[in-house]
Amino acid sequence: MVLDNLGSSLRGTLNDLRGKSRISEEDVEGVVKEIQRSLIQADVDIALVQDLSDSIEGRALDEEPPAGTSARDWVLRIVYEELVELLGESTDLPLENQTILLAGLYGSGKTTTAAKMAWWFSKKGLRPAVIQTDTDRPGAYDQAKQMADNAEVDFYGDPDENDPVKIAMEGLEETADADVRIVDTAGRDGLNEDLIDQIERIETAVDPDRNLLVLDAAMGQSAKDQAQEFERAIGIDGVAITKLDGTAKGGGALAAVNETDSTIAFLGTGETVKDIERFESSSFVSRLLGMGDIDQLAERVERAMEEAQEEDEDWDPEDMLEGKFTLRDMKKQMDAMNRMGPLDQVMDMIPGMGGGMMDQLPDDAMDMTEERMRDFEVVMDSMTEEELENPRIIGASRTKRIARGSGKPEERIRELLQQHKMMDQTLQQFQGMGDADMERMMQQMQQ
């Protein structure tokens, strides 16, 4: 993820400040150096890096920390505020009727982003449609249609028509019922007059409310030149940065944002239609600094639970709150976890468990957890309804049978039962808690 290195190295440096009540010039220099190094590694423009470090240094030394604030918290806060400032507000995107045009080079992720954005709007209760106007790339139509199907959104394209402007106009008419129309355009291997000319013609015909530039996070400094060209041709309102799951860079995209005086609208973090996030600088920076991101997490959990419930109408998560926690509930929770995305991304959003904790875990520990979860699912598939509802009845002979049925060692079944018991006990504790206890616990987690 972009600036990931910054997150982990900075946490290390900040932890050295733990217990100190005053910050020395040396401390501040250490922090600033760390920030500079990470930003430059992530391809961030040198001038931007210099501005940022000057502001952090100046504030940390000149401003007086509020009484009772530790040196670490004070510096963390300044770094947080300055990074939020650097990344800026997210692109204004009201949830209303609109047409959005996507521009960008070939392979930047436009087609994928069009479907992802449509999916995102559909989850906000709007009816989106994707209009595919790429007539140059063979297969663009099929790919776009397939992704729109995956996102379960309306789609318009015409593989037999060669004029993208015609397709766009026809598409707008055909999708008149939709609230949000996302118009995908062709890209080229590099910027050239043909591409610019074509996108200008589409832009003039479609007259979109917003033009978004799609940029691959790994692109580096050339992103800046591209951004300039598109800005000159059609005007850029916001940027969608893709493939953040595959790179620790992304600084080039920041330079592009700066260059076009625009903002970041979306982040792409994977290949499926659900791997999209609305960019929010405050939550992005919180996560980066290991402060967690409750809002994103809550949204993902809610969505995953809704989907789990849609699939199995007999299952009601509310039952858990009444004190009955069965293996079936646990299975549903695991399904929901899987739906939320890779475990490490989810963990990053939990306060106190952000990057800091994950950095300490060896990579294979994480795989182990995911592998174990998969094993647990297989094991549960070999259980009877009765066993799922009432795991207490699973003794030695049932364990043997389930092991045989699932092809997993008996040890796994015992681990699963142990895990269930632990979760059950935790849940019982939550029930005994008042709101004040909960709040205290959350606060502790955030420290």
Of 236, 237, 170, the closest CA to residue 206 belongs to 170
d(CA 234, CA 203): 7
Q: DSSP string spanning 308-348?
A: HHHH-TT--THHHHTT---HHHHHHHHHHHHHH--HHHHHH
Of 263, 269, 227, the closest CA to residue 247 belongs to 269
Please identify which residue in 11, 72, 110, 224 interacts with ligand GDP, judged by CB under 6 A.
110
Q: Are 251 and 43 in contact (CB under 8 A)?
A: yes
- Residue 282, marked binder: no
Q: How far is the CB of 266 from ligand GDP (least distance, A)?
A: 10
Name residues contacting ligand GDP, limited to 111-140 (CB under 6 A): 111-112
- Residue 186, marked binder: yes
Please identify which residue in 11, 72, 243, 300 interacts with ligand GDP, judged by CB under 6 A.
243
Q: Token pair of 321, please?
A: 């709150």
Task: Give, as one character, the DSSP assignment of residue 240.
Answer: E
- Residue 407, marked binder: no
Name residues contacting ligand GDP, limited to 161-220 (CB under 6 A): 187
Q: Are 112 and 145 in contact (CB under 8 A)?
A: no
Place of tokens 């929770």: 333
- Residue 440, marked binder: no
Q: Token pair of 299, please?
A: 């949204």
Q: How far is the CB of 415 from ligand GDP (least distance, A)?
A: 32
Q: Which is nearer to ligand GDP, 187 or 251 (CB)?
A: 187
Please identify which residue in 51, 163, 245, 415 interacts with ligand GDP, judged by CB under 6 A.
245
- Residue 108, marked binder: yes
Q: Which is nearer to ligand GDP, 7 or 109 (CB)?
A: 109
**Residue 175: in which H helix or E strand, if any?**
none
Helices 327-340 and 410-431 cross at an angle (nearest 10°) of 90
- Residue 116, marked binder: no
- With CB under 6 A as the rule, give the number of residues binding ligand GDP: 18
Radius of gyration of the chain (CA): 25
154-156: strand order across its sheet: 154-156, 128-132, 180-184, 98-103, 210-216, 238-242, 263-268, 276-278
- Residue 110, marked binder: yes
Per-residue binding letters, 313-352, with ligand GDP (x by CB under 6 A): ----------------------------------------
**Residue 100: in which H helix or E strand, if any?**
strand 98-103
Per-residue binding letters, 349-388, with ligand GDP (x by CB under 6 A): ----------------------------------------
Please identify which residue in 3, 34, 79, 109 interacts with ligand GDP, judged by CB under 6 A.
109
Q: Token pair of 425, please?
A: 């006990």
- Residue 105, marked binder: yes
Q: How far is the CB of 177 from ligand GDP (least distance, A)?
A: 25
Name residues contacting ligand GDP, limited to 255-314 (CB under 6 A): 268-271, 275
Candidate ranges 33-41, 189-197, 237-245, 415-423; the one touching ligand GDP (CB under 6 A): 237-245
246 binds ligand GDP (CB under 6 A): yes
- The torsion defined by the Cα of 256, 258, 261 and 266, in degrees rounded to 10, comes to 60
Of 386, 147, 371, the closest CA to residue 273 belongs to 147
Binding site for ligand GDP (CB under 6 A): 104, 106-112, 187, 242-243, 245-246, 268-271, 275
Q: Which residues are annotated as a binding site for GTP?
A: 104-111, 184-188, 242-245
